[in-house]
Each structure stands twice: as structure tokens, then as C-alpha cells.
Structure 1
Amino acid sequence: MSCAEYSFHVPDLQELGGVLQKGLKANFADVQVSVVDCPDLTKEPFTFPVKGICGKTRIVEVGGVPYLLPLVNKEKVYDVNKIAKEVKLPGAFILGAGAGPFHILGFNSEFMPIILTESENNPPINGSYIARINPEDRGCLLEKYSDKYPGFGCALLANLFASEGKPGKVIEVKVRRRTGKLNFVTCLRQTIEEHYGEKPVGMGGTFVVQKGKVKTHIMPAEFSSCPLKSDEDVNQWLHFYEMTAPLVCLPVFVSRDPGFDLRLEHTHCFSHHGEGGHYHYDTTPDTVEYVGYFSPAELLYRIDQPKETHSIGRD
């Protein structure tokens, strides 16, 4: 597989916090941005296998939407442990959003990778979730990956944030009551893009929708047999839901593409009440509350970039 490396602009955390404090006020009524010690992410509601998201931070984009649309390319399957080695960080803690490993599961799904990858001295830990369409009632069926399925695979496309999983300083963002039209992640990303311009900044981490509801989607278990050639085609294929807080989200975003055909933002979510999928935006602006913890990425790794591309299905 091809693998390209790129160095992001990494702002000072205090400076970046000030940029976000100012920018988020255009979209939310109440905004509080601080630089804090990362909370212990092994605790509820996160339940990650590591305490933090700091140390040798990377964003990794694997494959891409052109391997899913207009028709699926079933040769595009990956192993997260191998990805960690490819980005020169064996033993990395990896979270993010991607397509589930259909070659292992036997069906297509939304994938929420939460994986402490293997290292020389430690076996891997898979805390991931998958969301699929329940064949009985067409609702959401959220499953803890390791409860039922083997391996550490993903497929087709993935947007990942990798780190050493260590405690450290992070940017804490608390917002309430959305007054603008942008979703939480888009507002973060566009605020950074407007300030840093031609200097791409990458961010990852986790946030919780503490109150309110959000629009999500889940892909069908079966890949489309008809070519999906437009966003309208894609939206007719997907199943959309309104899901209820609390939801734990795994965002990965880049302020601007430095020339690698990146998906600029991608966020999946899970919960402890059986809901999860691809996050679009909150549907309860007057009551929604978010709290998030983010770290800037030092490096970008672009793995197996599609040679033929398009802009369909990247919402």
C-alpha cells in the first residue's frame, strides 16, 4: 500500500484554545474553552483502554469513499495493528471513524475503532463498537466488537487519530445551545481554517453529547448493487436516525487538505444505551450540550489513497 507522510502545523495549545473560544461564539450561546489535563478516559462514559490521547499524535486516513462508491471494491481491507506499524507507532492507541470489516463480520457496518494496538511487549486490546441496521425492526443495533467478533480489521475507508494514549494537556471545549447552522465538528474545523489559513492543522480526540438529540446514519448491511452516482443516491441508500444523549463521539478533522484527497471531517459515535452511528448534527439546538477533549496532530499519514476520486458521500 502507498503511504505518504506530511507534517501539520501544530499551534500552541493556549493560542489554539483562544482561537476556538472566539470562533465558537459565532455558533453557540455558551462557550468555555480551556487547556486542561486530559481526564481519565478509562472511566465512564468513555471506557477507553488508555487514560489519554497524548504523545506522538498522528492523523491517519486509510482508503477513501471512492472504494465504497459508486460501487464497492471488496479488495480494500485493512488491519489496524499493521496500520499502527505503518505510521511508525506500534502500540498506538487509535480511535476514529470508518467502515466495519465486512470480510470478518459478514456484513457492512459503521465502525467506531477504539483500539490499543499490539506492541513488542503487549497484546492488542479492542474496545471498538459497530453499528448495523437491525434486520428485525430496521432500528440501530450497536455491538461491542470484541464480544462477538475476532481480529482488528477495518475496510474501505477510515479516518483515525493515533497517539501513545498517554495523559497530558488537551483542549477542553464546553458549549451549549447552538445558535448557528454549523454542527459542532464543522464549527471547530472552520474556525481553525479561518485563523490558520494555508497552514493545515489536524485534530482528534473525543466529545460527549451530554444533552439533546443528534441526526445519524447507518449504512445498509448489503452494499448497493446499483452504482451510487450522487449524494441523493447515497442518501436514499443510507438509513437515518435521531439518537439521544449521552453519546460518545470520536472525531477526526483537518482544517484544510494539503493535497492528499482527504475527508476533512469524520465523526462516529457510540453509547451505553444501544445507539451509535455516523454523526451529522444535533437536532435540538436549544438544549444541546457538548463537552470535548482534543489534541492537535503532529503528522498526517495518507495510506492507500485512491487513484480515481470524486466528492460524493463525504458529508
Structure 2
Amino acid sequence: MTFFGSTACGSTSFSRILQKGLTDNFAEVQVSVVDCPDLTKEPFTFPIKGICGKTRIAEVGGVPYLLPLVNEKKVYDLNKIAKDIQLPGAFVLGAGAGPFQTLGFNSEFMLLVQTESEHRPPVNGSYFARVNPADGGCLLEKYSEKYHDFGCALLANLFASEGQPGKVIEVKVKRRTGKLNFVTCMRQTLEKHYGDKPVGMGGAFIIQKGKVKTHIMPAEFSSCPLNSDEDVNKWLHFYEMKAPLVCLPVFVSRDPGFDLRLEHTHCFSHHGEGGHYHYDTTPDIVEYLGYFLPAEFLYRIDQPKETHSFGRD
């Protein structure tokens, strides 16, 4: 566990920092502190109303458990993870690999889990995206429609909280003028401001207009070692997906020595598309609306002993 420190307490200062940094990359930027909207309503349809209270970021496993070859022993339970981060009953959102141990195949996972507590049973609002075996397109499904466990596998980047209403940082941007994607711009803005001091944020944003580049991993793990970004990109299936898309970002300004994936964002929709977000492909019309909070603590769970730097885009 790492304490992010006092910088994690001032949403107003974060909003000023993000306003300045995002202006370098988008034509219109408005960042403010607002009451968190009711996230149970569309388009979010989360199992809880807010993302506030005892915020944490947790990175579980890592890309080295997927590449060069998969380690199928690396499976996890979200209810146990909530206890590991000292927040049983937490609401957890983020991006990870789907629970192949249950599904029987590999997939992109969009985690939305209200974990179990003494007073309430767990609720799984997660989605998964797989490559459609019929036509190679995207097949997006809500996990709880067929499955009833709370697993994930291999790697996950998570933002956890008590799931309470409260004040959040609202970010509205339109028309990308720079080269950075929305999440990278925010992350690098924080890195530039805080330097060696790591800070992390998570939350949710909607791509309201435009299209984005995404990928979905194949259903079958690679039987041949994937040893470079080039190998990985040949293995992945890439798509252009259309708004509206609901995205679940987790990002940390810099790695304090825990072999972190600095940013990871998955998205889902109510029109059947979802996957791993890379960047928008329609900069002249794209619009983003997001709600974020800084994390108070960082947890590193099951860090790989052997590591590498590829496959983390």
C-alpha cells in the first residue's frame, strides 16, 4: 500500500491543473467540481449512485501474466480484492482481462462490481467484449445475464470507493487539437505538475460524439510467444467504434516502483460495442464528458516477479 498524500484531497486544485493541461490538447475545455450525477441512470447504469468515499487504486496481476505466454493460474475474485485493499463492500470499476476460468475464453472486461459486505450481497454490473466467432466483429454482453461469480483474471486496473454520492471533478472537452488521447493528456498533465510525486485518478467518462479506435483480444490465448508490441498488435483485433461509449479509466501519473500500467481504459455501450480504448479517430467532432476523483491510496496486488514493457498501450 502507498499513500498518495495530501495532493489527493484537493479536488479544486486538481480541476485547475486539468483545466490548464487539457487546454493544450482540446479546443474547448471546462473543468469544475460538481455533485456526482446518479450513476445508476443511463448511460452509465452502474450498480451504485456515486464514486466517492475512501478512494483507492489497485493494480492486480499484470501484462506479464498474459504475455509472452499466458499464465492460467492467475485468477482473482473481486470480493477478496476488496478485502485486500481494506475496503470490504467497495464499489470497484476499471479495466481488466475477462474471467476465462468461467467464460471458457479470453475477453476484454469492463468491471463494475459492488462487492459483498456484511449488510448486502454483491452485485455484478460488468460487461465483457469478445471477438464474434461468426463474423470477427464485436460481441458485447452483460456478465450477470449468464454468469454469477465475481472473478477476473491475469490483470486488472481498478478504482475502488465506498460508492457514495459526493463532489467529483467534472471534465468536459470538445474537438481534439493535440496528439494525446483524453486519458493520456490528463495523466501527463498530472505528471508534469506533480513530478516525482505519484498521484492517481479514476472514474468514468462518456464519449458523446465521434468514433474511437479500440481493440479486443482473441478468444484463444496465443500458443506462440508474443515478444514485442508488433507481435501483440498482429494478435489483437482492432475496431472503430461509435459514440456513445461509457469508459472506465484508471491512471497514475508515474510509477513509484511497482511495475504499474500507468493508464488503462475499457469501454462499453448500449448498442453492442465495447473494448479497450486507444484514442478518438474523429478529432474535429469528438466530445468527452467525465467524472473523476483522485485516489487516496495505491495497492499493488500479485505483482509479477518477471516483467517487460510491451503490450501496455
TM-score normalised per structure 1: 0.98
Quote the offset at 1:198 in angstroms. Answer: 1.1
Q: Secondary structure at the match of 2:306?
A: coil
Unaligned runs of 5+ in 1: none
**Are residues 1:299 and 2:287 paired?**
no
Please give the per-residue CA displacement for 1:129-160, whole angstroms capped at 9, x wherever unaligned: 00000000000000000001120000000000
Match of residue 253 from structure 1: 251
Q: How far apart, CA to CA, are the structure 2 residues paired with 1:280 and 1:148?
A: 28
Match of residue 41 from structure 2: 43
Match of residue 3 from structure 2: 7
Quote the offset at 1:25 in angstroms. Answer: 0.5
**Are residues 1:16 and 2:6 paired?**
no
Please give the per-residue CA displacement for 1:205-250, whole angstroms capped at 9, x wherever unaligned: 0000000000000000000000000000000000000000000000
Match of residue 112 from structure 1: 110
Q: How far apart, CA to CA, are the structure 1 residues paired with 2:121 and 2:301?
A: 24
Q: How far apart, CA to CA, are the structure 2 residues paired with 1:92 and 1:6?
A: 18
Quote the offset at 1:11 in angstroms. Answer: 4.6
The aligned runs of 1:20-169 (5 Å cut-off) are: 20-169=18-167
Q: How far apart, CA to CA, are the structure 1 residues paired with 2:218 and 2:178?
A: 31
1:242 to 230, 240, 243: 240
Q: How far apart, CA to CA, are the structure 2 residues paired with 1:231 and 1:244?
A: 25
Unaligned runs of 5+ in 2: none
Q: How far apart, CA to CA, are the structure 1 residues paired with 2:148 and 2:71?
A: 22
- 8 A Cα contact 1:104 1:150, kept in partner: no
Aligned length: 311
The aligned runs of 1:214-293 (5 Å cut-off) are: 214-293=212-291
Letter matched to residue 169 of structure 2: I
Letter matched to residue 72 of structure 1: V
- Identity among equivalent positions (%) equals 81
Q: How far apart, CA to CA, are the structure 2 residues paired with 1:58 and 1:120?
A: 20
Letter matched to residue 245 of structure 1: A
- 8 A Cα contact 2:9 2:296, kept in partner: no
Q: How far apart, CA to CA, are the structure 2 residues paired with 1:207 and 1:16?
A: 17
Is the deviation greater in 302-311 or in 10-19? Answer: 10-19
Q: How far apart, CA to CA, are the structure 2 residues paired with 1:182 and 1:121?
A: 43
Q: How far apart, CA to CA, are the structure 1 residues paired with 2:103 and 2:254?
A: 34
Letter matched to residue 287 of structure 2: E
Quote the offset at 1:76 in angstroms. Answer: 0.2
Q: Secondary structure at the match of 1:113?
A: strand
**Are residues 1:213 and 2:211 paired?**
yes
Please give the per-residue CA displacement for 1:54-110, whole angstroms capped at 9, x wherever unaligned: 000000000000000000000000000000011110100000000000000000000
Q: How far apart, CA to CA, are the structure 2 residues paired with 1:226 and 1:8?
A: 39
Q: How far apart, CA to CA, are the structure 1 residues paired with 2:104 and 2:252?
A: 32
Match of residue 308 from structure 2: 310
Q: How far apart, CA to CA, are the structure 2 residues paired with 1:121 and 1:150?
A: 19
Q: How far apart, CA to CA, are the structure 2 residues paired with 1:44 and 1:200?
A: 33
Q: How far apart, CA to CA, are the structure 1 residues paired with 2:278 and 2:241?
A: 11
Q: How far apart, CA to CA, are the structure 2 residues paired with 1:227 and 1:139?
A: 25
4+ runs deviating over 2 angstroms: none
